[in-house]
Amino acid sequence: MNTDMLTAPSVDYMAILPLLIVAGAAVIGVIVETFAPRGARRTIQLFLAFGSLVAAFVALVSEAGLRSLEVEGAIAFDGPGMLLMGLILLASFVAAMLIAERQLDPAGDSFAPRASALPGSRDERELTARGYLQTEVWPLFLFAVLGMMLFVISNNLLMMFISLEVMSLPLYLLAGMARRRRLLSQEAAMKYFILGAFSSAFFLFGSALVYGFTGSVEFAAISDALAAQPGQTYLVIGGVGLISVGLLFKIGAVPFHQWVPDVYQGSPSAVTAFMAATVKVAAFGAILRIFYVAFGGLRWDWEILLWIIAGLTMVVGSIVAVVQTDIKRMIAYSSIAQAGFILMGVASATPEGLGASIFYLTAYAFTTLGIFAVIMIVRDGSGEAGRLSQWAGLGRRSPVVGAAFAIFMLSLAGIPLTSGFIAKFAVFSSALAVDQVIPVIIAVISSVIAAFFYGRVIVIMYFREPESDGATVTVPSAFTTLALAISVAVTVLLGVLPQPVLDLIEQAGVFIR
Amino acid sequence: MSPDHYILLSVVLFTIGTIGVLVRRNAIVVFMSIELMLNSANLAFVAFARMHGNLDGQVIAFFVMVVAAAEVVVGLAIIVALYRSRRSASIDEPNLLKY
């Protein structure tokens, strides 16, 4: 950079239109919270949220052929980036339906009437009695979506750090907003925040070290500098290691997974659905880009590390999930195991591995959204029925919901004719294509262990006598019903007719630099 | 003074911050340690910018300060909410979420 004069960067505003739409809607959402009358807020916020997601998706599709670096190379519009952005928008759309649900809880929605009111205080009771409902979740939701979209296309370390924070900060707050079991929710928010901030500090210091070694934060320049100076020093190895810690934390890979079960269990289920599905997509998008584009030249160093972490993640996630008695905790450990499977695609470091990871993320995102939609509507007198034993006999009493949940469990287990099977098949073959037999064997063993606890849920739902305090299915509004229907449809369609999506992924090609 | 000293100092500060997060139990102190880690990265960025003779590192330091400020807002909001409902800012005491 010339230090004498700074020239204004040239920005192609049409290209970044999808991002601008979501950012604009989020900012307008904040203004609406300040100035709009209380009664009108929900209508406006729903219109803004769904409208901006649809508009951003349309804008994204209309520029689907775009392959270029924008904003002075800070963001890269390329095939995988566009696909992941589209996936984030679609999954957020479904998650938004779950957040908009207002028919399940007799007191209103699933968010605290005022997040600052003390749990169990007179204040809170009064607010609840007056039917006070908050809509602050919507701007936070949109800012998180914006951060995720930026995260998968950011093309330098600074952009990646900022989008990481734009994505995470709203999620920390959303995690603490549950209407019921508020102490749990606040605890989840604090654990998520402390550990999340801790890991992003690692990411930042790693970026500083990489910048020190290469003299640039642009991915392409980093890659060139690494190729020019093949003798690796402690500086670059340390930098890549610290950056990996920050990113692996976000996907919940072992040994950085401790926050996952606590946060998944404590957060409001609609928020858990949102972050379980989309954060994983965004964080894997960032990991794929940074390892393939910036650190591609170091692959002999990080590959082995990623294989080991993938193996550990699959095994630990699957084994610990077996002993869980709470459904949300069980799904949390299962999502850790799923992250291990996706990491296999990343560690393959081939275009096939990239495609397999993206397909797996698509399958996983919609299955997860469906699972949490079911968790939201299975309730007892005090809210959602968390204990697995309360689900006994649910499949016989509510055949439709039971069948939907069984499909999701089968998909996560990787049974044929569901999306999970094709996804697992794709990552396993990408690993075998680079002669990694041992990770595949570990993956198959973990799949068998995982099949046990997924199967157990189905057994509990269909073949066990219901308990006295058993859960029942509450009839949801059209929002959750539609979200559930979309999730089931995607899970089955990707299992029966995966070819169009596989073609789309193949056409998308690889990352540009 | 050569930039090496500054980088060494930033590594020391980062280590102090990391140890602080791991051993201290008061949420505010833990949070301060995280801020120390972010600022040590800032110092490293600025020192490296000097070393490479480009401005990237200095510009990044400004961005990081803004992000750190936003993080303070969110973090203190969460810690204060937790303190008000529990009358303690310990990060060990909230232990309802386990197994």
Q: What is the pLDDT of residues B36-78, one digit of tens each?
A: 999 999 999 999 999 999 999 999 999 999 999 999 999 999 9
Residue A361 near residue A345, CB atoms below 8 Å: no
List all residues of chain A from 137 to 196 with a beta carbon under 8 Å from chain B: 158, 161-162, 165, 169, 172-173, 176, 182-184, 186-191, 193-194
Contact A340, A314 (CB under 8 A): yes
Cα pseudo-dihedral A259, A264, A265, A269, rounded to 10: 160
Q: Half-sphere exposure of residue B42, counting CA atoms within 13 Å on the CB side? A: 15
The Cα-based distances of A104 to A111, A389, A461, A480, A481 in angstroms read 12, 21, 21, 10, 12
Q: Which pLDDT score is estimated for A469?
A: 78
DSSP of B13-27, one letter per residue? HHHHHHHHHHH--BH
Q: Does A72 touch chain B (CB under 8 A)?
A: no
Spatial CB neighbours of A156, under 8 Å, sequence gap ≥ 6: A73, A74, A217, A218, A219
* CB contact (8 A) between residue B41 and residue A205: yes
Chain B hits for A187, Cβ within 8 Å: 82, 94-97
Distance CA A347, CA A325 (A): 32
CB contact under 8 A, A194 and B31: yes
* Euclidean distance between CA atoms A414 and A399, whole angstroms: 22
CB burial of B60-88 (b: ≥16 within 10 Å; e: otherwise) equals bbebbeebbeebeebbebbbebbbebeee
- For an interface test with B, the pick among A211, A217, A320 (most B C-beta atoms closer than 10 Å) comes out as A211
Q: Which of B34, B44, B55 sits opposite A198 (nearest CB)?
A: B34
Q: Is A459 on the interface with B (CB under 8 A)?
A: no
Q: In this structure, are residues A460 and A391 in contact, taking their beta carbons and an 8 Å threshold? A: yes
Q: Which residues numbered 325-364 in A keep a CB inside 8 Å of some CB on B?
A: 325, 329
Contacts of A217 in chain B (CB under 8 A): 56, 60
CB A112 within 8 A of CB A168: no
- Phi (first) and psi of residue A380, to 5 degrees: -120, -165
Question: What residue segments make up the domains of chain B, in order of their start?
Answer: 3-86
Q: Does the distance separating the beta carbons of A169 and B74 come in below 8 Å?
A: yes
B72 touches chain A (CB under 8 A): no
Is residue B14 less than 8 Å (CB to CB) from chain A?
yes
- Angstroms from A194 CA to nearest CA on chain B: 7
Contact B31 A183 (CB under 8 A): no
Closest Cβ–Cβ partner in A191, A198, A205 for B44: A205
Q: How far is residue A245 CA from its own chain's centroid?
A: 17
In the prediction, which pLDDT does B99 show?
59
Give the closest of A119, A197, A201 to B41, CB-based. Answer: A201
* Residue A406 to residue A201: CA distance in whole angstroms: 40
Q: Confirm or reject contact between A475 and chain B (CB < 8 A).
A: no
Q: Is B56 on the interface with A (CB under 8 A)?
A: yes
What is the model's pTM? 0.95
How many alpha carbons lie under 13 Å from residue A440 in its C-beta half-sphere? 15
Asked if B94 and A209 come within 8 Å (Cβ–Cβ), the reply is no
With beta carbons less than 8 A apart as the criterion, state whether A404 and A393 touch.
no
Q: What type of residue sits at position B31?
A: F
Within an 8 Å CB–CB cutoff, is residue A211 touching chain B?
Answer: yes
User: Quick check: helix, strand or coil at residue A193?
Assistant: helix
How far apart (Å, rounded) are the C-alpha atoms in residues A361 and A288?
12
Report CB contact under 8 Å: B30, A216: no
d(CA B1, nearest CA chain A) in Å:
17
Alpha-helix residue ranges (DSSP H) falling in A254-398? 259-266, 269-289, 299-322, 327-348, 351-377, 394-397
Stated as kind and residue range, the H or E segment containing A446 is: helix A437-463
Amino acid at A445: I
Task: Quote the ipTM score.
Answer: 0.96
Residue of B nearest to A197 (CA): B34
Please count the CA atoms within 13 angstroms of the CA of A513 that sit on its side-chain side.
17
| Phi-psi group of A363: left, alpha or beta (phi > 0 → left; psi -120 to 50 → alpha; rest → beta) | alpha
Read off the tokens for B24: 């201290």
- DSSP label of A297: G
SS3 A164: helix
A50: number of Cβ within 10 Å: 16
Max distance between CA atoms of chain A, in angstroms, equals 78
How crowded is residue A386: how many other Cβ atoms within 10 Å of its Cβ?
A: 21
pLDDT at A261: 95
| Nearest-CA distance B46 → chain A (Å) | 9
**CA A216 to CA A208: how far, in whole Å?**
10
What's the pLDDT at A264?
95
Task: Give the H or E element holding residue A76.
Answer: strand A75-77
pLDDT at A110: 86
The beta-carbon neighbor of B78 closest among A118, A190, A261 is A190
Interface test with B, best of A30, A150, A183, A193 (most B CBs within 10 A): A193
Query: How far are the Cα atoms of A183, A265, A358, A442, A450 from residue A332, in angstroms, in the given order?
Result: 19, 8, 20, 20, 13
Question: What residues of chain B lie within 8 A of the CB of A184, using their CB?
Answer: 96-97
8 Å CB contact of B85 and A119: yes
- What is the CATH class of B3-86? mainly alpha
CA A434 to chain centre: 27
Total residue length of chain B: 99
Provide the pLDDT for residue A231: 67
Q: Write out the E strands in A207-283.
A: none
**Tens digit of pLDDT at every position of chain A (513 positions):** 455 677 777 888 988 999 999 999 999 999 999 999 988 999 999 999 999 999 999 999 999 888 888 888 899 999 999 999 999 999 999 999 999 998 888 888 889 888 888 888 888 888 888 888 889 999 999 999 999 999 999 999 999 999 999 999 999 999 999 988 888 999 999 999 999 999 999 999 999 999 999 999 999 999 998 888 776 678 888 999 999 999 999 999 989 999 999 999 999 999 999 999 999 999 999 999 999 999 988 888 888 999 999 999 999 999 999 999 999 999 999 999 999 999 999 999 899 999 999 999 999 999 999 999 999 999 988 888 888 889 998 988 899 999 999 999 999 999 999 999 999 999 999 999 999 999 999 999 999 999 999 999 999 999 988 887 788 888 899 999 999 999 999 999 999 999 999 999 999 888 887
Helix (H, G, I), strand (E, B) or coil at A116: coil
b (16+ CB within 10 A) / e for A304-330: eebbebbbbbbbbbbebbeebebbbbb
Tokens of A159: 């952009």
